[in-house]
Chains A and B, each alone.
Chain A
Amino acid sequence: MTVIVLIFLYAPIMFLVIFSFNSSVTGANWMGFTLKWYGELFLRSPDIWEGFKNSLIVAVFSSLTATFIGTMAAIGIHWYKPSFRRYINFNIYAPLIIPDILMGVSMLMLFVSMRIRLSLFTIYLAHTTFSLSYVVLVVLARLENFDSSLLEAAMDLGASEFQTVRRVIIPMALPGIIASFLLSFTLSIDDFIITFFVAGPGSTTLPLRIFSMIRFGLSPVVNALSTILVGGAILLTLLGRKFLKYILAGEG
Chain B
Amino acid sequence: MDLLVTHMREKHHIIPVWFFVGVMLFAYGVLILGSGLAEWSNPPHTVLAELHAPVWWGALLTVIGAAYTLAFRPNRRS
Q: Do A and B come from one complex?
A: no
Q: List residues of B whose CB falls within 8 A of some A CB.
A: none
Q: List residues of A whose CB falls within 8 A of some B CB.
A: none
